[in-house]
């Protein structure tokens, strides 16, 4: 009868026959290799369009505030914050995804920088970053005993 051991019922199984497992694994491997080859060969050839430019250039609206209070927009000196507002509004109308970078001297009061941020926000520029210089590396603090 199937399922009975010829040696007797009390004999323990001392080894596992892995041959059927290896056979099934190899058959599955062959099936996957054949189907992968069929999937690759059925790819549709396409003639993709060429890009006019290599990459999209992100527009930056730069505002620099020097220690003496001089304002520069994109490197050009402007008179006051109203001009910054007008230029920011015009630049945002031309480029809806415009980002602003504020570069302020270390001696400029924080209130002045906040006024520039308010001017940019009123003009509609909500994406603002700060231009900074990289300082010396900070040493890690020692753990308390």
Tell me the domain boundaries of the chain: 60-130
Query: Which residue carries 């001392």 as its tokens?
Result: 14
Under 8 Å between Cβ of 85 and 119: yes
Sequence-separated (6 or more) residues with CB below 8 Å from residue 84: 63, 71, 73, 78, 116, 119, 120, 123
Q: What number does CATH give the domain 60-130?
A: 3.30.420.270
pTM score > 0.85 for this model? no
pLDDT 10s digit of each residue in the chain, 145 long?
455 555 556 778 788 888 999 999 999 999 998 888 776 655 566 666 676 666 556 688 899 998 888 899 988 899 888 999 999 999 999 888 889 999 988 888 889 989 999 999 999 988 888 887 777 888 877 766 6
């Amino acid at each position: 009868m199937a399922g009975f051991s010829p040696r007797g019922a009390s004999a323990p199984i001392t080894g596992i026959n892995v041959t059927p497992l290896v056979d099934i694994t190899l058959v599955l491997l062959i099936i996957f290799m054949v189907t992968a080859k069929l999937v690759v060969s059925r790819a549709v050839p396409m003639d993709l369009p060429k890009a006019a430019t290599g990459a999209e250039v992100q527009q930056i609206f730069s505002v620099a505030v020097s220690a003496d209070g001089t304002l520069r927009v994109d490197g050009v000196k402007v008179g006051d914050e109203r001009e910054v507002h007008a230029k920011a509004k015009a630049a945002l109308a031309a480029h809806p995804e415009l980002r602003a970078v504020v570069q302020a001297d270390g001696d400029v009061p924080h209130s002045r920088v906040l006024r520039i941020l308010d001017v940019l926000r009123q003009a509609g520029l909500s994406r603002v970053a700060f231009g900074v210089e990289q300082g010396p590396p900070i040493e890690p603090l020692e753990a308390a005993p």
